[in-house]
């Protein structure tokens, strides 16, 4: 059964969503992310993905008070990402209640530090965020493209112990036009034991069903819920 992981993206302490990672497209869905988290939990959700978009843009963790409030008031398993660039950021995230963190830009810019985190905290708690545009890695809140090939990049980190990867196709994110199922299939063909978490583009329950049929272990999505394209009650079949 595919794991369902709703996303809560945060700017200024509010629950927002962007399109293709463009900060100019932000739309506020709830002033209080804790309300959103509690609703997810009430509908049987066990795990959420929180993204500190202010942190991603500022290159250090910012919205950890919101993380702490959600962690203290729910029993949700929380994966937290966005702006985690230093040992201090990592410490704050874990002490604020994150069970796992996702590192994206740091894994590209400072691979030795990120590899040390994997070794220190275990691959169960450190997730690789592999955000891609045209199969090339993008960093810094998707504002900077690189020439790094996605498959080669994943291969390097799997050799270093990574076992969980969140892969977002930037062109799909927030567009409600369907996920990059073929890309995820290609990744799993190369790395069949990888716990691959698909992210971006979910527009319907059917999209999730197709990912499940393709053998994708987990999926992150948010805008489809906030825009009413996916009803939380309809997710019961996956829970």
For 65-86, the pLDDT digits (tens) are 999 999 999 999 999 999 999 9
Mean pLDDT of 225-234: 94
The rounded distance, in Å, linking the Cα atoms of 82 and 167 is 14
For 131-189, the pLDDT digits (tens) are 888 888 987 545 667 789 999 999 999 999 999 999 988 777 656 678 999 999 999 99
The rounded distance, in Å, linking the Cα atoms of 100 and 119 is 14
pTM for this prediction? 0.93
* Token duo for residue 204: 């319907």
What domain count does the chain have? 1
Q: What is the pLDDT of residue 140?
A: 58
Q: What is the pLDDT of residue 7?
A: 97
Q: Which domain holds residue 35?
A: 3-238
Q: Which residues are catalytic?
A: 9, 131
The rounded distance, in Å, linking the Cα atoms of 45 and 218 is 13
Q: What is the pLDDT of residue 25?
A: 87
The rounded distance, in Å, linking the Cα atoms of 217 and 94 is 24
The mean pLDDT value of the chain amounts to 93
For 40-53, the pLDDT digits (tens) are 999 999 999 999 99
* Token duo for residue 202: 């979910």
* Token duo for residue 45: 């959700």
- Nearest Cα neighbor of 51 from 73, 97, 83, 19 is 83
Mean pLDDT of 105-115: 95
What CATH number did the domain enclosing 155 receive?
A: 3.20.20.70
């Amino acid at each position: 059964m595919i794991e369902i992981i709703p996303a809560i993206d945060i700017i200024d302490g509010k629950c927002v969503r962007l399109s293709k990672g463009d900060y100019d497209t932000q739309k506020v869905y709830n002033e209080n992310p804790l309300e959103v988290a509690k609703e997810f939990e009430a509908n049987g959700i066990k795990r959420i993905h929180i993204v500190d978009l202010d942190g991603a843009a500022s290159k250090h963790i910012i919205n950890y008070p919101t993380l702490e409030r959600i962690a203290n008031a729910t029993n949700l398993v929380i994966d937290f990402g966005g702006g985690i660039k230093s040992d201090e950021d990592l410490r704050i995230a874990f002490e604020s209640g994150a069970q796992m963190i996702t590192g994206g830009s740091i894994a590209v810019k400072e691979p030795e530090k990120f590899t040390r985190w994997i070794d220190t905290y275990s691959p169960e708690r450190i997730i690789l965020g592999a955000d891609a545009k045209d199969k090339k890695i993008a960093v810094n809140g998707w504002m900077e493209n690189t020439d790094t090939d996605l498959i080669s990049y994943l291969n390097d980190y799997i050799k270093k112990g990574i076992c969980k990867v969140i892969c977002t196709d930037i062109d799909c994110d927030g567009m409600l036009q369907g996920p990059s199922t073929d890309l995820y299939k290609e990744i799993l063909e190369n790395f069949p034991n990888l716990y691959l978490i698909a992210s971006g583009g979910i527009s319907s329950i059917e999209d999730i069903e197709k990912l499940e049929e393709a053998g994708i272990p987990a999926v992150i999505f948010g805008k489809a819920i906030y825009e009413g394209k996916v009803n939380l009650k309809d997710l019961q079949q996956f829970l």
